[in-house]
Amino acid sequence: MAHNSTSTLIRPPATPLGVSVAGLEFLPVRGGLWRVASVRGTILGQIELCSQDAGAEPRFTARALHSDGVRHSTLGDFGTAVAAADCFR
């Protein structure tokens, strides 16, 4: 008996943020969420795509990771990924 294996994608695939900021890397975590790290590998926070409703402009929320490595503080909501990324400089 032949076995057909199919997989179901539960989450949208992670895609690159498409932003370049000197000294920073943006690592896709899942669809709409990116980890922000220094080029040395220190995790600085995250950027999340907050709204992508039909007809609405996308919004990006930037959050800084606290020194405890668990909690985040919201740095702000931005109209572009570039603006959200700039606050990590």
pLDDT in tens, 13-42: 679 999 999 999 999 999 899 999 999 999
Structural domain includes residue 4: no
Q: What letter represents residue 41's amino acid?
A: G
Phi, psi of 68 (to 5 degrees): -75, -10
> What domain range is 34 assigned to?
24-86
Whether the per-residue pLDDT at 2 is higher than 70: the answer is: no
Residues 6+ apart with CB under 8 A from 38: 23, 24, 25, 44
**How many structural domains does the chain have?**
1
Structural domain includes residue 48: yes
**CA–CA distance, 25 with 11 (Å, rounded to integer):** 23
> Model confidence at 9, in pLDDT bands (50, 70, 90)?
low
Neighbours of 34 (CB within 10 A): 26
Structural domain includes residue 32: yes
Mapped onto helix, strand or coil, the DSSP state of residue 85 is: helix
For a pLDDT cut of 70, what percent of the chain falls above it? 83
- Res 57: pLDDT: 85
> Model confidence at 51, in pLDDT bands (50, 70, 90)?
confident
